[in-house]
């Protein structure tokens, strides 16, 4: 249920009664319990318009809305802050909504078609840690948008074209029959080919000639190129399957798939007089920037910008997308700023299409340096996942007795879940400090803490299987229960705020607050303890069920599995 929307409407109606029309009403959750549940601070902004004291305006609003039965208290504080406290009966009445399959979260009334472009590894190499954030953040955003009702098109804009493929083909040809066996380790094959390219000018010349042949459609080169792509995609799919992200071959939309459109893109800009020649290159200039966006090189070749513009044209005109999200690290911000501006100038993206660079920071080690192997090499993503599962297995095996099958399942769920959650719990725009100990801790804002909270509630519910719950609504007998029940009901607003900002950490922040409140509730408000009244027991079981449902729903959106027991 959208509590904020209800409160916004109540305040809007009150302002209308005062003769004020405002479309910019913001209701926020109170930062401290003593300030109520929600706050409205708009009276100060209205003071200049109404030529009145903001506190007087706030008092007038309070006098109108305090009669609404949704509130137990409406008060004015400071220069004109309106503090709103919800009635416990209102909270109790609505809590059963949180028990449905969507945890009480309604779908959007205005769904749109959204393209989420994420992961985007380069072919001919295995995925490394640099792809982790894009893959995890992108998949979560796609899950969230889909859950809220949008039509989602996942696109994996793989890098499958360029000089490196001429290099690989040349190396394949040079090594003859040995090449087929070497292809099993594509990373090593690439390293050997690159070493030859850097050390041997004749080899480098042949590699460039193969690029020309490849672009010209040479059948043999295309066949070898396809083999490299297929082998690379197998490596990628193995990682995606292990991580549990929803990317497969159907999501692949490669750079090469736009090749036939690139010349037309340049012509579109030329015809409209948007691009100009500069040192024989086709450029788009922007006011206030010394660096133009180059869409065709002096030798006639095309660049990433040309492909990105072709992709926007395809996604808007062919797919009909109204929101396009590029989950790419923050270092590409200037590139996307220019590409988006160019797409709008030429008409590929109209005003009703939202183009977003979902920027994120880089992954660092605990010393604040780029995350590398001990010998300074790039960490393969598959190795990182395997290490996370191994460490989770070591921790879990010390905590309880499990069969080998149970241990492997729990270790996988905790290991992968912890890897994802640690990334998603950080504001995506911040650099991410990778810390094994923190990531796999049972304390704090971690996946294991959430999975443990869910497993604990599941254990309670299993022990209470014989309790017949006849109550339709919980009793809300004290302030802690009230705060917990209200937190459950704010999941709806939380997910929609994460939707607008495309920020998964909003969801993890909610989960941590919810789980922490439940742990306090469980400690101070016993559920199955002897002597607890029957109706109180039923009421607390209802609350516990709703908490479990909210945790499971939220973790599913994050792409993390729950555990029935730990």
CA 13/CA 64 separation, integer angstroms: 9
User: What is the pLDDT, as a whole number, of residue 351?
Assistant: 96
Q: What is the pLDDT of residue 183?
A: 58
pLDDT of amino acid 48: 77
> Structure tokens of 532?
């607890």
- How many angstroms separate the CA atoms of 325 and 312, rounded? 11
Q: Can you give the pLDDT at residue 47?
A: 82
CA atoms within 13 A on the CB side of 347: 6
Cβ-count burial of 38 within 10 angstroms (0-12 exposed, 13-18 middle, 19+ buried)? buried
Alpha-helical regions (H) of 244-359? 262-271, 304-313, 333-346
CA–CA dist 422, 437 (Å, integer)? 11
What pLDDT, on the 0 to 100 scale, is given for residue 459? Answer: 95
| CB-side neighbour CA atoms (13 Å) of 338 | 21
Rounded CA gap, 38 and 45, in Å?
A: 18
Instruction: Quote the DSSP letter at residue 83.
Output: E
pLDDT at 245: 97
User: Which of 230, 220, 116 is CA-nearest to residue 166?
Assistant: 220
Chain centroid to Cα 480, Å, comes to: 31
- The pair of three-digit structure tokens given for residue 112, joined into one six-digit string: 């749109």
- Cβ atoms within 10 Å, residue 397: 13
C-beta separation of 242 from 126 below 8 A: no
CA pair distance 482, 484, nearest whole angstrom: 5
What are the 10-residue block averages of pLDDT along the chain, 566 residues in total?
A: 92 91 86 92 84 90 96 94 96 96 95 97 84 96 98 95 85 72 70 91 90 84 88 91 96 93 96 95 93 92 93 98 97 96 98 97 90 77 95 88 91 97 96 92 94 96 93 94 97 97 98 97 94 95 98 98 91
Residue 349 vs residues 18, 156, 276, 304: alpha-carbon distances, Å = 41, 20, 21, 18
Domains, the chain, in order of start with CATH, read 3-86 (3.30.1360.70), 381-557 (1.10.730.10)
* Amino acid 128: pLDDT: 87
List, edge to edge, every strand of the sheet that includes 81-86.
Answer: 27-29, 38-40, 81-86, 71-77
Helices (H), ranges, 176-303: 178-182, 186-199, 201-215, 219-243, 262-271
pLDDT for the residue numbered 214: 84
């Amino acid at each position: 249920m959208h509590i904020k929307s209800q409160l916004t409407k109540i305040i809007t109606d009150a302002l209308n009664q005062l003769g004020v029309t405002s479309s910019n009403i913001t209701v926020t959750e109170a930062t401290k319990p003593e300030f109520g549940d929600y706050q409205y601070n708009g009276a100060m902004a209205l003071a200049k318009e109404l030529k009145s004291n903001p506190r007087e305006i706030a008092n007038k609003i309070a006098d109108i809305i305090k009669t609404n039965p949704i509130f137990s208290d409406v008060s004015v504080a400071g220069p004109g802050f309106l503090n709103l406290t919800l009635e416990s009966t209102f909270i109790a009445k609505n809590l059963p909504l949180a028990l449905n399959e969507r945890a009480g979260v309604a779908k959007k009334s205005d769904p749109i078609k959204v393209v989420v472009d994420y992961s985007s590894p380069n072919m001919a190499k295995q995925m490394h840690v640099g792809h982790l954030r894009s893959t995890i953040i992108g998949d979560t955003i796609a899950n969230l948008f889909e859950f809220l009702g949008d039509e989602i098109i996942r696109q994996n804009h793989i890098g499958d074209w360029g000089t490196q493929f001429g290099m690989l083909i040349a190396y394949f040809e040079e090594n003859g029959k040995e090449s087929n066996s070497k292809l099993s380790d594509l990373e090593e094959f690439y390293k050997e080919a690159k070493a030859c390219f850097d050390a041997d000018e004749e080899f480098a010349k042949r590699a460039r000639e193969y690029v020309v042949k490849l672009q010209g459609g040479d059948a043999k080169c295309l066949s070898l190129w396809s083999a490299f792509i297929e082998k690379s995609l197998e490596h990628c799919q193995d990682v995606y399957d292990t991580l549990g992200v929803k990317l497969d071959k159907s999501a692949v939309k490669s750079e090469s798939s736009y090749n036939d459109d690139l010349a037309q893109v340049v012509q579109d800009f030329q015809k409209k007089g948007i691009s100009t020649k500069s040192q024989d290159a086709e450029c788009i200039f922007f006011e206030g920037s010394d660096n133009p966006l180059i869409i065709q090189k002096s030798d006639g070749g095309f660049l990433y910008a040309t492909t990105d513009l072709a992709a926007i044209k395809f996604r808007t005109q062919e797919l009909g997308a109204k929101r396009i999200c590029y989950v790419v690290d923050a270092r590409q911000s200037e590139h996307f700023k220019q590409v988006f501006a160019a797409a709008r100038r030429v008409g590929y993206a109209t005003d009703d299409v939202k183009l977003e660079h979902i920027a994120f920071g880089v992954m660092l080690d605990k010393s604040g340096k780029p995350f590398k192997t001990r010998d300074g090499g790039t960490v393969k993503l598959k190795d990182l996942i395997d290490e996370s599962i191994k460490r989770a297995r070591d921790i879990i095996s010390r905590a309880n007795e499990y069969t080998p099958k149970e241990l492997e399942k729990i270790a996988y769920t905790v290991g992968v879940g912890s890897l994802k959650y640690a990334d998603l719990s950080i504001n995506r725009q911040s650099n991410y400090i990778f810390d094994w100990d923190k990531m796999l801790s049972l304390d704090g804002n971690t996946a294991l803490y959430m999975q443990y909270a869910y497993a604990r509630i599941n254990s309670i519910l299993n022990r209470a299987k014989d309790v017949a719950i006849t109550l339709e609504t919980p009793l809300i007998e004290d302030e802690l229960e009230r705060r917990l029940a209200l937190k459950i009901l704010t999941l709806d607003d939380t997910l929609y705020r994460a939707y607008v900002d495309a920020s998964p950490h909003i969801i993890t922040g909610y989960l941590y607050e919810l789980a922490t409140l439940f742990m306090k509730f469980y400690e101070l408000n016993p559920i199955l303890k002897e002597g607890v009244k029957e109706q109180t027991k039923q009421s607390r079981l209802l609350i516990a069920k709703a908490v479990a449902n909210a945790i499971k729903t939220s973790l599913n959106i994050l792409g993390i599995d729950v555990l029935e027991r730990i």
